[in-house]
Amino acid sequence: MSTATTETVDSQSDVAVLEEEKKQGRFASLWLQHYDLVILPGIIVVLLLALLLYIGTRDLDTIEQRVLAPDNLASLLGQHLWLAALSTILVLVIAVPLGILLSRRAARRVQGPVLAIGGFAQALPPFGVLLLMAFAFNFGVTTAVIGLTLAALLPVLRNTVIGLQQVDQSLIEAARGMGMSSRQTLFRVEVPLAVPVIVAGLRVALVLNVGTATLASYIGAGGLGELVQQALRLNRINVLLVAGAIIATVALLIDWLAGVAERIVVTRSG
């Protein structure tokens, strides 16, 4: 808030700043804003290179060679990512609409109980859930995906509800006051403004799922956990080392990608 003269001065200097940014080029300003995003992949690449060098100096027996063959690794990685992706998409499809429903006026009363149940589900150890579900239903990918989905539902549900709650009431009133229907207000004002918070919840769910998917191999759903099991069964320390490194790398990279996506969304929605 300022008086007439300072306002004009402000706008002039703003224009100057904008022109300056254009001169510097988009790349430079992007780098300045987001250079921190480059640090994590850098560290990961260095550590992976170190591991590869170490493995390269070892004499691998035929069993180790077979387990660590690129084909085998790629197929397990594929299964792993499929499990994580599918369960996260299910979480998105279930938790976001549910969260939106819970934040509607008519459903405000059940919001507390539902979130409490969600919190309870969150407290259950995912491994236990997976095993119990496998015995209750059957072993395999479907059960694993359902288990992962349940375990990661809450962060997204809670963030959707909170994200919608924290939308400034006066904006909703302004929207209604201008003649937006409640549906238009929801999809043009409330949800877009809640997106950063919802995306943060999705990121948590995704990372959770990538980690928990390691346990899916115990109920026969494959994934990188398979590598760990093989290493333990065959008592091959080199394989275990590589398995651990790959699992950690995948988790970190997925989190990083989600972080980049989150930043893009937040920048877009102002």
Residues in the site for another protein, rule: CB under 8 A? Answer: 1-4, 7, 10-11, 14-15, 170-171, 173-181, 184, 189, 192-193, 269-270
Separation CA 172–CA 244 (nearest Å): 49
CB of 14 to another protein, least distance (A): 7
Please report the beta strands in the chain, taking only residues with DSSP state E, as ranges in sequence order.
none
CA separation for the pair 17, 4 (Å, rounded)? 20
Token pair 């989905």 in the structure block, residue:
149
Nearer to another protein, 61 or 173 (CB): 173
Nearer to another protein among residue 176 and residue 263 (C-beta):
176
Taking Cα atoms as reference points, which of 65, 162, 173 lies closest to residue 111?
162
Q: Which amino acid is at 15?
A: V
Q: Which is nearer to another protein, 170 or 235 (CB)?
A: 170
What are the DSSP calls for 199-250, one per residue?
Answer: HHHHHHHHHHHHHHGGGGGGGT--STHHHHHHHHHHT-HHHHHHHHHHHHHH
- Least spacing, CB of residue 205 vs another protein, in Å: 24
Indicate the residue among 42 and 270 with the shorter CB distance to another protein: 270
137 vs 171: CA distance, rounded Å: 47
User: Using CA atoms, how far apart are residues 226 and 75, in angstroms rounded to an integer?
Assistant: 11
CA pair distance 154, 126, nearest whole angstrom: 13
- The residue among 1 and 53 lying less far from another protein, judged by its C-beta, is 1
CB-wise, 106 or 123, nearer to another protein?
A: 106
Rounded to an integer, what distance in angstroms lies between the CA atom of residue 224 and that of residue 267? Answer: 34
| Residue tagged 């998105």 (tokens) | 92
